[in-house]
Amino acid sequence: MVFEGLADKLQQTFKKLRGRGKLSEADVNEAMREVRMALLEADVNFKVVKDFISRIKERAVGQEVMESLTPGQYVVKIVNDELTNLMGGTQSRITISSKPPTVVMLVGLQGAGKTTTAGKLAHYLKKQNKRPLLVAADIYRPAAIKQLEVLGEQLEIPVFSLGDRENPVTIAQKAIQRALAYANDIVIIDTAGRLHINEELMQELKSVKQAVKPHEILLVVDSMTGQDAVTVAENFNQQLGLDGVILTKLDGDARGGAALSIKAVTGCPIKFAGMGEKLDALEPFHPDRMASRILGM
């Protein structure tokens, strides 16, 4: 599973510390060197790693540790605490508006998993007795609309499309009207993949945002993403104001350092995890459990 490698490494490191009665500063430094390596191998952003390590070091050489009976375990606890903090503490949900429809817009880089996640999210909400409407606002990628339509058909969830000749703003606006007319209480807008540095396409998203005022703008991020995750998330957040993140492809062996990094840098909570290509493979994201899992505790 994801994060396992990191957990193993940290455990090995702290096994060495656990045996000892007292920790010297050299012990702590040695352990932190290994934590640093493990986090970097897990694709945690190197700046985030730096801050993280210095925070832990500060606490680990402090009085509380030295005075505790089992300093090694105490350091493990500190790492776990800090990691949980970094991941965002408790689970965050999406906001359901008291005045339907709730509008959710999925955004992100090319190939991150937006269209698939739109289908999954619609399915997830339908099971909670919602009446979602999927909206095909990717007018660029070859067969993107068809892809969403196929998913909608499989899920028996309606898909709103105006083809690829109308602009996404119009598509989104008309979709809301259609949702109001047919009592769809959730509108999920699938947008085209784009680079955070593509001004024209980022402007397009801002225009959609302004036109339909989504309750949730969610950044879809591939969990295999490396150091760039932070840059991407910062840019999307600055330009659009994100309400959260959905992490995809967690069914592989990526360590998922992107999760840690994005939360640490943007403060945006991770709300869901994509666990496969199938349409039921979406789970609420639990930061606390995830942190424990990283450390194998």
Partner 1 sequence: TGHGKIDEELLDDLEAILLSADVGVKTTGKLMQNIKAAIKKNEIQTADQLKPFLQDQINSILTGGETDGGKDYPAPFIIMVVGVNGVGKTTTIGKLGHYYRQQGRKVLLAAADTFRAAAIDQLEIWAGRTGAELIKHSEGSDPAAVAFDAVQAAKARKADVLIVDTAGRLHTKSNLMDELKKIRRVIAREIPDAPQETLLVLDATTGQNAVNQARTFGDVVQVSGVVLTKLDGTAKGGVVIAVKEELGVPVRWIGIGEGMDDLRPFDAAEFAGALFADK
Residues at the contact surface with K ion, assessed by CB under 5 A: 111, 222
Q: β-strand 270-274 against 282-284: which pairing, if any?
A: antiparallel
Q: For residues 91-120, which are near Mg ion according to CB under 5 A?
A: 114-115
In terms of CB distance, is 172 or 220 closer to K ion? 220
User: Which of 100/226 has CB closer to partner 1?
Assistant: 226
State the amino acid at position 192 in one-letter form.
Answer: A
Q: State the binding partner of 151 from Mg ion, K ion, partner 1, none, CB within 5 to 8 A by kind.
A: partner 1
268-297 positions binding ligand GTP, by CB under 6 A? 274-277, 281
Contact status: 222 vs partner 1 (CB under 8 A): yes
Q: What angle do CA 117, 122, 127 make, to 5 degrees?
A: 125
Interface residue with partner 1, options 120, 123, 255, 271 (CB under 8 A): 255
Could you say whether residue 112 binds ligand GTP (CB under 6 A)? yes
Length of the chain counted residue by residue: 297
The yes or no reply on residue 266 touching Mg ion (CB under 5 A) is no
Q: Does 218 sit near partner 1 (CB under 8 A)?
A: no
Q: Is 13 in the site for Mg ion (CB under 5 A)?
A: no
Between residues 116 and 161, which has the closer beta carbon with respect to ligand GTP?
116
The phi, psi pair for 11, rounded to 5°, reads -60, -45
195 binds partner 1 (CB under 8 A): yes
What is the rounded distance in angstroms from the CA atom of residue 184 to the CA atom of residue 10? Answer: 48
How distant, in Å, are the alpha carbons of 26, 72, 73, 163, 236 from that of 67? 17, 12, 12, 68, 45
Cβ pair 103, 176 in contact under 8 A: yes
Choose between 39 and 205: whose C-beta lies nearer to ligand GTP.
205
Q: Which is nearer to ligand GTP, 117 or 261 (CB)?
A: 117
Residue 223 in contact with residue 254, Cβ under 8 Å?
A: yes
Distance CA 187, CA 206 (A): 17
Q: Kindly tell me the burial class for residue 189, based on how many C-beta atoms sit within 10 Å of its own C-beta (0-12, 13-18, 19 or more).
A: buried
What is the spatial distance between Cα 78 and Cα 35, in angstroms, rounded to a whole number?
13
**Residue 9 engages partner 1 in binding (rule: CB under 8 A):** no
Nearer Cβ to Mg ion, position 114 or 209? 114
Interacting residues toward ligand GTP by CB under 6 A: 108, 110-116, 138, 141, 144, 192-193, 195, 220, 248-249, 251, 274-277, 281
